[in-house]
Structure 1
Amino acid sequence: MMLSALVATSQEVTSTSSRLAKVETLARVLERAEAEEIAPAVGLLIAAPRQGRIGVGWRGIAALSVHHAATSGLTVADVDMALDALAAVAGKGSVTARGGLLEDLASRATPEEWDFLVRVMLGELRTGALEGVLLDAIARASDRPKGAVRRAAMLSGDLGETAHIALTGTAEDLEAVGLVVGRPVSPMLASTAATPVAALDITGEASVEYKLDGARIQVHRRGDDVGVFTRNLADITHRVPEIVEIVRGLPSHQLILDGETLSLGEDGSPRPFQETMARFGAEDARDVLLRPWFFDLLHLDGRDLIDEPLRTRLTELERVAGEWRVPGVITAEPDEVEKLSNAALAAGHEGVVVKAIDSAYVAGRRGKAWVKAKPVHTYDLVVLAAEWGSGRRRGWLSNLHLGARDPHGEFGEPGGFVMVGKTFKGLTDELLRWQTEQFPELETRSTRSTMFLRPQTVVEIAIDGVQRSPRYPGGIALRFARVKQYRPDKRPEEADTIQTLRELLRG
């Protein structure tokens, strides 16, 4: 398949707001792909190449000076091989080597194709061809049930591989995709309610659990082999030996556990979230120890539990890892929910998560079965730009431009971000120093006062609410926004949406 076919598909998908039209367009191009082209094509369409990080940034691309091809000649396989080569570059001389590979690829691409590839490599391809739309397109192209395709994608954690199985295999092959101990799956996510009782009104009888201000972990065990993964499915096993040893000591042979981890102070209270994340970023173990809290069990000794009701999963979790469970109660009584929420807050945690007691574990989805309630409005937004500071902050990137996700393109490009406010409040000297060092790597353009960034960095923002405002395209502005913490464990597609923020107007 020629790369130009994907470029044309991307343009066609971008030009329509109709989900059905997007699905049809994507299905047509998938039907044309050869078996070995399917996974690479899917990665290019969602700006998530199968190679993962390839070490290419805006500055390296901007430094190129090449003449592009006059006619299309690149295939999807050509691009996939070029990305393989870029991903393999490392060590001394890597900058020069990577530059040479980029020059070669750029010279073989037409201007239109190179623009597409740049946006793919920088993660800026805003076609609205996000995973949900592409999953429907895979189902249509393969004539497989949507539910079977979605389940296979969630359990495999690989959209490209799912497309390959659906389009080249049998219905039985697709249905056979299941949990594999050692292969992480997308975590189940929670929606938000204003109060714990409001959350209970949504779920009915529930397991009400502490909402920890920690980092999500998924732990797999097969015998003595233990793997620990982040919410983004990154392997951090070698960085958390204390968690590995705890799980090795549990009375089972095979496990997949879902939970959180954070470090504790000498008084037993949680340390700041940044200290936990600093451990994740350290290649060697540090003095700060991490303690796991588990709240779900997805697999136990050859038995998949994700389709079992939460009540059953918690019974097994208590038997296997009771000492390491997140504190909680099973109740349908509002008074009990309020009591546990107050206890969580008093212990220094964020609030509670209320989970419908008979719900299945739906990997990768945010529904109404799990609902979190925190006393302060906090939202995950994306940094779109940063302004240079003045006075004491001169020389540091300070005031942040904040964006909410716009999945349907109501206020711009589908899958893009819409600005909802600015803030410099809550930025410590440490954070100012960090963002001044890190943000230039994400720079797309600059003015004298402002550095504009790829929408990649997620930051947790506390607000008192929102108000109507014509200043920003989404029609709202944040009230008293302040930085709580950066969330390197979250991807931009996990940020809160403009629709979620607009719901606060009704409140």
Structure 2
Amino acid sequence: MLLSDLSEATETVAATSSRLQKVAALADVLRRLDVDEIAPAIGFLIASPRQGRLGVGWRGLAILDVAHTDVAQLTVGGLDAALDRVAAAGGPGSVDARRRELETLAASATAAEWHFITRVILGELRTGALEGVLLDAIASAGDRPAALVRRAAMLSGDLGETARIALTASPAELEEVGLRVGRAVMPMLASTAASAAEAITALGRDASVEYKLDGARIQVHRDGDDVHVYTRSLAEVTHRVPELVEAVRALPAQRLILDGETLSLDDDGAPRAFQDTMSRFGSEAAATVALRPWFFDVLHVDGRDLIDEPLSTRLEILDQVVGDLRMPGVVTADPERAEEFGREALAAGHEGIMVKALDAPYAAGRRG
């Protein structure tokens, strides 16, 4: 497929506020992709190329002075291969090598395509093609149930691979995508409410009310002594957070998938500034600020998948597994108690609270 087809589809998506029209435009372009173009195209559509960080910033792109072609000839596969070469540039002279690759790429693209490419590289493609819209488009293009596509995407943590299966494989293969210890899972997301009382009232029944920390979301996988820590975006940061690894190795289970948050505390036990926590995720430097984990959900324990179990069951198991590493929380149907607990969270220096239905499976909290 020509890259211009993909770029034009994103312009169509950006030009409409209709979710149905966004889904239709994306589904149309997805149907026309070759098999080996699917995963790269999905990465381009969400401005997250499969190569990851390319070592190129705004300045590196702004200084390029290249005449673009007037004829659209660059393909999706051609852009993917070019980004492979940019990502592979390393060692002495890597800056110049990346610049040369980018100059060649820019010269092979039209002005409109280069505008699209730069936004993909910088992660700034604002088209309205949010993950939920794209998942619906994948389901439409592959004629697969949207719920099945969403579940496969959540459990695989890989939107491109999910699209490949949905568009080219059998429905049975999509259904077979399951939870795997060591493979990051797309995290459960939440919507907002004006107040804790409003959230409790809307549920109309007992709910789990938990602290919301001003920290970093983490997902931790353990298989024996092998532990992996992932961020909200599913980037692995295991080597940067050895204290989290050791904390999980000390837990009384051999195979685990845990969902939680982490932040750093000062000498009095109060939370440090958010940037102190985040600095641990973005630096290779030796740790000078220790992190502490709090876990609020468990997806798997010692051979048992829990994502379809109600939250009440998962919390019982979580208590048994993580002990005092459990996120502080209460169970209540009383709006006043929820508000009181929210004030306690704020007084402790935290961001607020989360309200969760006790009968909800993990996948039910996933929204796009």
Q: How does 1:279-318 map to 2 (within 5 A)?
A: 279-318=280-319
Structure 1, unaligned stretches of length 5 or more? 368-507
- Aligned partners of 2:132 and 2:367 also within 8 Å: no
- Aligned partners of 1:214 and 1:262 also within 8 Å: yes
Q: Name the SS of the counterpart of 1:113 in structure 2.
A: helix
Partner of 2:53: 53
Which whole-Å CA distance do the structure 1 matches of 2:60 and 2:288 have between them? 37
Q: How does 1:382-397 map to 2 (within 5 A)?
A: none
Shift in Å, 1:55: 2.1
Partner of 1:360: 361
Q: What amino acid is aligned across from residue 261 of structure 1 in structure 2?
A: T
- Aligned partners of 1:240 and 1:285 also within 8 Å: no
Deviation string 1:361-403 (CA, Å, 9 cap, x unpaired) is: 1377359xxxxxxxxxxxxxxxxxxxxxxxxxxxxxxxxxxxx
Shift in Å, 1:215: 1.8
More strand per residue:
1
Which whole-Å CA distance do the structure 2 matches of 1:261 and 1:37 have between them? 37
Partner of 1:153: 153
Q: 1:267 to 1:60 in 2, by over 3 A?
A: closer
What TM-score, normalized by structure 1, do the two folds share? Answer: 0.68
* Count of residue pairs brought into register by the alignment: 367
Q: How does 1:105-504 map to 2 (within 5 A)?
A: 105-203=105-203, 204-362=205-363, 365-366=366-367
Which whole-Å CA distance do the structure 1 matches of 2:165 and 2:106 have between them? 32
Q: What amino acid is aligned across from residue 356 of structure 1 in structure 2?
A: A
Which whole-Å CA distance do the structure 2 matches of 1:215 and 1:7 have between them? 33
Which whole-Å CA distance do the structure 2 matches of 1:33 and 1:256 have between them? 34
Structure 2, unaligned stretches of length 5 or more? none
Which whole-Å CA distance do the structure 2 matches of 1:189 and 1:288 have between them? 28
Q: 1:4 to 1:280 in 2, by over 3 A?
A: closer
- Aligned partners of 1:187 and 1:363 also within 8 Å: no
More helix per residue:
2
- Aligned partners of 1:27 and 1:137 also within 8 Å: yes
Q: 1:127 to 1:343 in 2, by over 3 A?
A: closer
- Aligned partners of 1:211 and 1:351 also within 8 Å: yes
Partner of 1:92: 92
Q: Name the SS of the counterpart of 1:199 in structure 2.
A: helix
Q: 1:223 to 1:58 in 2, by over 3 A?
A: same
Shift in Å, 1:4: 2.6
Deviation string 1:26-66 (CA, Å, 9 cap, x unpaired) is: 22222221111111122222322121221222222222222
Which whole-Å CA distance do the structure 1 matches of 2:125 and 2:114 have between them? 12
Which whole-Å CA distance do the structure 1 matches of 2:116 and 2:347 have between them? 51
Give % identity.
Answer: 65
Identify the structure with bigger relative contact order (alpha carbons < 8 Å, sequence gap 6+): 2
Which whole-Å CA distance do the structure 2 matches of 1:24 and 1:211 have between them? 37
Which whole-Å CA distance do the structure 2 matches of 1:273 and 1:67 have between them? 44
Deviation string 1:177-230 (CA, Å, 9 cap, x unpaired) is: 122211222222333333332221123211122222222111110111001111
Across the aligned residues of Structure 1 and Structure 2, the Cα RMSD in angstroms comes to 2.1
Q: Name the SS of the counterpart of 2:362 in structure 1.
A: coil
Q: Name the SS of the counterpart of 1:127 in structure 2.
A: coil
